[in-house]
Structure 1
Amino acid sequence: MSDLAQVTRVAACGMITLRGDLGSAKLTKAVKAVTGQAMPTSGQFLGDATSGVAWMSPDELLLVVPYADVAQNVAQIDKVLVGHHYLAVDVSDARAVFNVSGVRARDVLARLCPVDLHPDSFGVGQFRRTRMAQVAAAFWMHDTGFEVVCFQSVGHYAQDLLAQAAKNATGTGFYAPDM
């Protein structure tokens, strides 16, 4: 039997939690300056694996940036938002990131997360915060699969979960083999 998908741990992914008034023009300017992206809407991820922004809650975003640029990007946010109420924190080392790719990547996550992953319900650029088995996780879909984020403290457990869910060529039977 072959694996349903490939699970790869992503090394050194830069992440910044940004909290504040998401309707603020200044906050939108800071997001654009750091990621090159517009303000996402609820349940949306804008960008790619190296730079992007995810909507986490009505007052929180997750900015994905190159790991080496995190401190510089936090300083840039501080400069743009001086005098405004906000929080910008480097959470890179507190998070584990996995790439789940392949024709059955949906099946892998469907085995672990209570999310409707049917292609009519979940597509490229969509983002969810959820549970993955017993741990908090979030993921977004891109052209070749999903990026999955969880706390670093449960990273080994999450990697084992994803690897186990990727085994077995039959899949869940819920989704067509194409993305």
Structure 2
Amino acid sequence: MHTATVTGPRGVTLTEWPFSTMVNLRVDPASEAADRIEKSLGAPLPRQCGHSTASGCHTVLWLGPDEWLALSRADGSDGTDGTDGVDGTAVAAELRAALGADPGSVVDVSANRATLELSGPAARQVLEKGCPLDLHPRAFGPGHAVSTTVGPVPALLWQVDGAPTYRLFPRSSFADYLARWLIDAMSEYRGPELP
């Protein structure tokens, strides 16, 4: 990935993030259990498709009307410094306690997905080669996260900031293939500058 980096005004970089804490949540968003989970996370559960919320070390991505993915970082940041995530077992246990005996589920899925980050001025153009979403800033901007495909690989796609920086969460077994697909898609940006 490092050798595939393209610099300059058409630059794009692909990196893999270290193991991160990811907890899948299922709960009725109108329930008292959801309120307790939100208090535990310090962030509301997003209520609309594509939305995300964040507070301290937790970011919550919408997956469905009653399903979310909670991402947690050790240092209380959004993870941009590359530190390892907090202990998934502890986060899951805390959220399980917040759920209590109410209907729902809290599952540590940290080993389920890999995390790839694509950033730089040409990042959106690289993704547009194989993603069916409208990624133009008027339709998809910082904080948006949706399940989609990139190339032939299903992945959760989250735009972290307006740089733009995107995090892709494919299943671990597809991560190598997706990374190679992205590296191939990045290769044209190595060419000479167009007038």
Q: Same fold by TM-score, threshold 0.5 exceeded?
A: yes
Structure 1 position 118 matched with structure 2 position 125: no
Structure 1 position 47 matched with structure 2 position 47: no
Alpha-carbon deviations, 1:135-155, whole Å to 9, x = none? 211111122311110100111
Aligned with 2:187 (options 148, 167, 174): 167
Aligned with 1:152 (options 161, 172, 181): 172
For residue 103 of structure 1, report the CA deviation from its aligned partner.
1.1
RMSD: 2.2
Greater relative contact order (CA < 8 Å, ≥ 6 in sequence): 1
For residue 109 of structure 1, report the CA deviation from its aligned partner.
1.1
Give 1:76's aligned residue.
94
State the TM-score, normalized to the length of structure 1.
0.86
State the TM-score, normalized to the length of structure 2.
0.79
Amino acid at match of 1:168: E
Aligned with 2:154 (options 112, 132, 136): 136
Alpha-carbon deviations, 1:29-71, whole Å to 9, x = none? 313413x221212211223895300000112100001333211
Structure 1 position 64 matched with structure 2 position 71: yes
SS in 2 for 1:158: helix
Q: Which has the higher strand share?
A: 1
Amino acid at match of 1:167: S
SS in 2 for 1:11: coil
Task: Determine the C-alpha separation between the residues in 1 that align with 2:128 and 2:167.
Answer: 14
Equivalences for residues 67-106 of structure 1 within 5 A: 67-106=85-124
User: What percentage of aligned pairs have identical amino acids?
Assistant: 29
Alpha-carbon deviations, 1:99-150, whole Å to 9, x = none? 1111111111111210001111111111111111112111111223111101
Amino acid at match of 1:64: L
| Consecutive unaligned residues in structure 2, runs of 5 or more | 74-84
